[in-house]
Amino acid sequence: MPKATISTLVAELEARGLVRDGHVERDGAIGRPAQVVELDGRTICALGAEVSPTGIGVIAEDLQGEVLFRRNVAIDVPALTPAQTLDQLARVLRQAFRRMRNRDVDVVGACVAVPGMVDVNAGMLVFSANIGWRDVDVIGQLQKHLGEHVPPLQLENNVRVGAVAEHARVAGQGEQDLVYLIGEVGIGAGIIVKGQLLRGHAGHAGEVGHMALGPPTSRCPCGRRGCWELTIGLRAFLELAADPDDPVRDPSRHIEERLGELRTRAEDGDQRVVEAFGRTAKSLADGIAIITDLLDPSLIVLGGYFAFFGDHYLGLVQAGLDARAMTPTPPSNRVVASTFGYSSALRGAAAQALRIVYQDPTLVPMP
Amino acid sequence: MPKATISTLVAELEARGLVRDGHVERDGAIGRPAQVVELDGRTICALGAEVSPTGIGVIAEDLQGEVLFRRNVAIDVPALTPAQTLDQLARVLRQAFRRMRNRDVDVVGACVAVPGMVDVNAGMLVFSANIGWRDVDVIGQLQKHLGEHVPPLQLENNVRVGAVAEHARVAGQGEQDLVYLIGEVGIGAGIIVKGQLLRGHAGHAGEVGHMALGPPTSRCPCGRRGCWELTIGLRAFLELAADPDDPVRDPSRHIEERLGELRTRAEDGDQRVVEAFGRTAKSLADGIAIITDLLDPSLIVLGGYFAFFGDHYLGLVQAGLDARAMTPTPPSNRVVASTFGYSSALRGAAAQALRIVYQDPTLVPMP
């Protein structure tokens, strides 16, 4: 491209607040010094929203990755109708839009993360066992609430945008192929290939929880036998680690508190908990080896309870993976733990919504 | 882009022989009629080459998909040194280059397909159990033979370029996500995501033959237990279908002849052969269900002996997949049989080498 064209393009990005002048580079002895241009984008943000079994949340994040707004509301989502929950979510989204307008920050888009199968193009949640929704037009209902003058809304699966958040964190170090594997009651994977989210042709990629990797005697609520999450899901882990009447298996208590107790027991040498780590880590490694044989990612990022017990799992899972996967020079595929904890879906939804700025910067209005 | 820029670009593509004027479109009542531009490329080709256990092959294919040169040489590759085989391959490649020069056809590149793990960037065959090569600098050795004035040479895995060939065949119908699964002594997968070959971060994606989907009692030559190809590889199928002294298990006979005999027996109602189809189809469907849960491809293309017996396998495998995979509306992921037979690697290698024309048309010289 001719220099004049580049100058014009950069000036336009600058006018939209997307880049700013950085330092001047004087490396070469000959010729004009080079003007470095940096990412700006402090007046541009996207909203990340989430619906989970325990509530809704919204954040606003600018191009620099700074969180400008954050609100979580505890709701018993499965007990409400989808319309009731989306009504509340629209209220918090409106609040976020208003707050950003008052700060003179442009919202370029919003992405809603949900647990379940989504039809990204239609903006529909096809099915979610966790919150009990089926064929819900999430984006359509939100648009009705929010009116016409809102930026583009997207719907995404919570695990997939978790993968986007993990990728955004390590992309600067050149990591472009990763699998984010979340361990909750269900098991799901978000797959990043060459820096892009892999959705599959109908949007169902990453549904790994029901791969038939467990004993064929076990029967899953989905109707199939031997589903992987029956062996390594949170419920299976708790059953291995404690008796039915043990307080750590009381579903009315907060999950992180219960997991914290099990961590203490393991540190005190409770063999049952240690064995539960060993058995779940073995099946986890076997499944990751299959994922690795297929996809050969550079990183496998563990989320959910796997990440909570990262210090116990990482070594066991890496060893199991190296012994089983076909990669010629282990450890070619590194297993790490997520650092986002339970906010990965919100962070990833915002990162996903921000992508449109990189794809088409002219969507950001001139001031 | 301004109209004048487009005209200049099209004129340049035309000068390079890549496009030509097609018909004139008069759909709109107002304005100048539109000039449709078609792909030309009859003076541009790429070479596809292959090293297999039974020989070497080279084809030349133009942008229209027409084969301009084809030569196969039967060689007992595992019995020779890599240098001896590559010496012969270089000879056939030189012959192809010469033939194309005489026809005034430009060769824009060549791609060599090999059975085994490749390091695409280094042009090295890391390891191939089938031909017994380890750490062979295939591209370096060929370049030494061919001299400096040859177009870019690439190295690729034979299954992966088979997937490229299958994709090239169906891309026009909008199929952009497919998995090509080949059944020979080993099992391998070539994965196309959004129209692009998925290689994985170190180039080992698609090594599905050693996924632990078989009984843990079976021991694989690779040193692991329960590898998938012990259950559905060609050897396992033949063991299920016939006794050890049966002529169809005589490795000195041509494989298609032996498979043809088994097909006749199945048609005559031989229960042992029919059961062999059933048992391998079950395990094949289980593995494809796992691949589908992960990748959600629109098409699964069966190659090798699965394609030879396509009429027996397709129905069984599709039913098994629909019963097991998590896709909500079967048959969302369609199982089909390859139509290329044993030439898929050569066709795919040529298609892969032709891609550089689409990525950078200026690589094609002006006449």
| Residue type at position B79 | A
- B89 within domain boundaries: yes
* A254 and A306 together in one domain: yes
* B199 and B334 together in one domain: yes
* A190 and A319 together in one domain: yes
Cα→Cα distances B293→A21, B126, B155, Å: 46, 30, 30
List the one residue out of B172, B61, B212, B16 whose CA is nearest residue A287.
B212
Tokens of B344: 């898929």
Is the ipTM reported for this complex over the cut 0.90?
A: no
Best A211, A298, A329, A335 member to test B by mutation, with max B CBs in 10 Å, is A211
* B124 and B107 together in one domain: yes
**Predicted confidence band at A42 (pLDDT cuts at 50, 70, 90)?**
confident
* B130 and B234 together in one domain: no
Q: What angle do CA A262, A265, A267 make, to 5 degrees?
A: 110
* B348 and B247 together in one domain: no
CB contact under 8 A, A289 and B211: yes
Is residue B216 predicted with pLDDT exceeding 70? yes
Total domains in chain B come to 3
Task: Supply the DSSP string of A329-346, one letter for each residue.
Answer: SSSSSEEEE-SSGGGHHH
**Predicted confidence band at A29 (pLDDT cuts at 50, 70, 90)?**
low
Task: Supply the DSSP string of A34-98, one letter for each residue.
Answer: EEEEEE--TTEEEEEEEEETTEEEEEEEETTS-EEEEEEEE--GGGS-HHHHHHHHHHHHHHHHH
* B83 and B224 together in one domain: no
pLDDT for A260-277, tens place per residue?
999 999 999 999 999 999
- A76 within domain boundaries: yes
Q: Could you give the percent of chain A with pLDDT greater than 90?
A: 62
Lowest mean pLDDT among A51-55, B66-70, B138-142: A51-55
Mean pLDDT for A113-127 is 91
Q: Taken in order B128, B132, B135, B141, is the CA torsion positive or negative? A: negative
Q: Which of B177, B201, B295 shows the shortest C-beta gap to A296?
A: B201
Is residue A349 predicted with pLDDT exceeding 70? yes
Domain that holds residue A16: 3-39
Tokens of A216: 């064929």
Sheet strand arrangement including A153-157: A67-74, A55-62, A44-52, A106-114, A153-157
Question: What pLDDT score does A271 carry?
Answer: 97
* A348 and A287 together in one domain: no
**Predicted confidence band at A244 (pLDDT cuts at 50, 70, 90)?**
very high
List the one residue out of A161, A182, A213 whose CA is nearest residue A301.
A182
Question: What pLDDT score does B15 carry?
Answer: 78
C-alpha span between A77 and A52 (Å, rounded):
7
3-state SS record for A178-217:
EEEEEECCCEEEEEEECCEECCCCCCCCCCHHHCECCCCC
Task: Supply the DSSP string of A243-301, one letter for each residue.
Answer: -TTSGGG-TTS-HHHHHHHHHHHHHTT-HHHHHHHHHHHHHHHHHHHHHHHHH--SEEE
DSSP element (H, E) containing B275: helix B271-295
* A237 and A323 together in one domain: yes
Q: Which of B201, B222, B293 shows the shortest C-beta gap to A210?
A: B293
CB contact under 8 A, B202 and A295: no
**Predicted confidence band at A204 (pLDDT cuts at 50, 70, 90)?**
confident
Is residue A366 predicted with pLDDT exceeding 80? no
- Cβ neighbors of A150 (< 8 A, separation 6 or more) are A97, A107, A110, A143
Question: What pLDDT score does A179 carry?
Answer: 98
Q: Taken in order A322, B128, B59, B119, is the CA torsion positive or negative? A: positive
Is residue A28 predicted with pLDDT exceeding 70? no
Which range scores top for mean pLDDT: B94-98, B117-121, B164-168? Answer: B94-98
Crossing angle of helices A344-359 and A158-170, in 10° steps, is 70
Q: Is B234 helix (H, G, I), strand (E, B) or coil?
A: helix
Question: What pLDDT score does A326 carry?
Answer: 77
List the one residue out of B303, B346, B340 whose CA is nearest residue B50.
B346
Return the residue matching tokens 């979580």.
A72
Q: Could you give the percent of chain B with pLDDT greater than 90?
A: 62
Is residue A13 predicted with pLDDT exceeding 70? yes
Question: What pLDDT score does A149 carry?
Answer: 78
Residues in B touching A127 (Cβ below 8 Å)? 328
Lowest mean pLDDT among A10-19, A32-41, A172-181, B280-289: A32-41
DSSP element (H, E) containing B74: strand B67-74
Best B227, B296, B332 member to test A by mutation, with max A CBs in 10 Å, is B296
C-alpha span between B330 and B322 (Å, rounded):
6
pLDDT for A170-200, tens place per residue?
988 889 999 999 998 889 999 999 999 998 9
Q: Which of B200, B296, B324 shows the shortest C-beta gap to A204?
A: B296
Question: What pLDDT score does A72 carry?
Answer: 92
* B76 and B154 together in one domain: yes
Residues in B touching A327 (Cβ below 8 Å)? 202, 204
Q: Give the residue with greater pLDDT, A199 vs B314.
A: B314
Rg of chain B taking only CA atoms, in angstroms = 23
* A136 and A277 together in one domain: no
The A-side interface with B (CB below 8 A) comprises 117, 126-127, 176-177, 189, 191, 193-194, 196, 198-208, 210-213, 222, 224, 286, 289-291, 293-298, 324, 326-328, 332-333
Domain CATH code at residue A186: 3.30.420.40
- A166 within domain boundaries: no
* A82 and A112 together in one domain: yes
- B168 within domain boundaries: no
A250 Cα distance to chain centroid: 27
- B169 within domain boundaries: no
Question: What pLDDT score does A185 carry?
Answer: 84
